[in-house]
Chains A and B, each alone.
Chain A
Amino acid sequence: MTELSKELKIVLIINGIAAFIYGFLFLVIPEIYYDLSDEPYPNVHLQRLWGGTITLLGIFALIAWKRGEWETGKIMVELAMGWLLLVCILSLASFAYVKRSPTNIASTWSDVIVTLIFFLMDLYFYLKQKKG
C-alpha cells in the first residue's frame, strides 16, 4: 500500500470542508439559500438531492483521508475531479438558457470560480502524487 502524500491529505480535508459548507446550504437551508442567491427556479427537492450528494462526497473525501492509502484515495480524487469539472462546465453552460438576476449571476460566477480552483488544486496534487 502506498501512503497518500501530506499535501493530498490536506487537499482532501479542504475538499471535505467546502463540500460540507455547500451541503449545508443546499440540504439544510435550501429556502434561505434560494433567497440569498435569488434562484430563478426554486425546487427544494432537487436542491436537497444536490446538497445530499455534496455532503456525501465530503464524507468520502474524509474517509479517503482517514484511510490514507493512495490505492483507495486515488479513485475518490478522480471522482472529485470529474464531478467538479462537470459542475463547472454545466454552471457556465446554464448562462445560455437560465434567465438570471444580477445577484444570481454573481452567485453562479462565485460557484464557478470556487469549483475551478478546487478542480485545478485536485488535479495538480493528483498528478504530483502519481508521478512521485
Chain B
Amino acid sequence: MVEASKEVKIVLLINAIVALIYGFMYFIIPDITNQLNDGPYYNPQFYQLFGGTCFTLAIIALLAVKRGEWENLKTVLELGILWLIFVLIINFWSFAYMPYSTTAIASQAFDIIVVIIIIIVDIWVYLRESK
C-alpha cells in the first residue's frame, strides 16, 4: 500500500467540506434552499436524496483520507471527478428545459462555477499524484 501525499488528502478534505455544505442545504434545510434558489418544481424528496448523496460521498471521502492509502483515495477521487463532470453537464443541460427565474439562473451559475473549480483542482492533484 502506497501512502497518499498531503496535497491529495487536503484536496479530498476540501471536497468533503463542500459536499457537507451542499448536503446540509439539500438534506437538512431543503425548503429554505429552494426558497433561496427560487427553484422551479420543488420536489422535497429528491432534494433530500441529492443532499443525502452529497453527505454519503463526503463521509466516504473522509473515510478514505483517514485510511490514507493512495489506492483508496484514487478510487474516491476518480468517482468525485466523474460525478462532478456529470453534475456539470446536467446543470448546463437543464438551462434548455427548466423555466429558471433570474435568481435561479444566478444560483445555477454559482453552482457551476464551484463545480468547475473543484473539478480542475481534483484533476490537477490526481494527475500529479499518479505521476
Chain B residue nearest to A83 in the complex (CB):
B56
Secondary structure of the B contact surface, majority rule: helix
Using a CB–CB distance below 8 Å, which chain B residues touch chain A?
1, 39-50, 52-53, 55-57, 59-60, 63-64, 69, 71-72, 74-76, 78-79, 82-83, 86-87, 89-91, 93-94, 97-98
A49-B41 contact in complex given A72-B71, A75-B60, A75-B64, C-beta closer than 8 Å: no
A82-B41 contact in complex given A48-B93, A56-B83, C-beta closer than 8 Å: no
A43-B42 contact in complex given A56-B82, A56-B86, A71-B72, C-beta closer than 8 Å: yes
Chain A residue nearest to B40 in the complex (CB):
A43
Those of A78-99 within 8 Å (CB) of chain B = 78-79, 82-83, 86-87, 90-91, 93-94, 97-98
Residues of B within 8 A of A75 (CB): 60, 63-64, 72, 75-76
Using a CB–CB distance below 8 Å, which chain A residues touch chain B?
41-50, 52-53, 55-56, 59-60, 63-64, 69, 71-72, 74-76, 78-79, 82-83, 86-87, 90-91, 93-94, 97-98
Secondary structure of the A contact surface, majority rule: helix
B53→A78 contact, CB < 8 A: no
Given the complex of chains A and B, what is the CA–CA distance between A51 and B125 in angstroms? 28
Residues of A within 8 A of B56 (CB): 79, 82-83, 86
Residues of B within 8 A of A90 (CB): 45, 48-49, 52
Which of A50, A71, A87 has a CB less than 8 Å from the CB of B1? A71
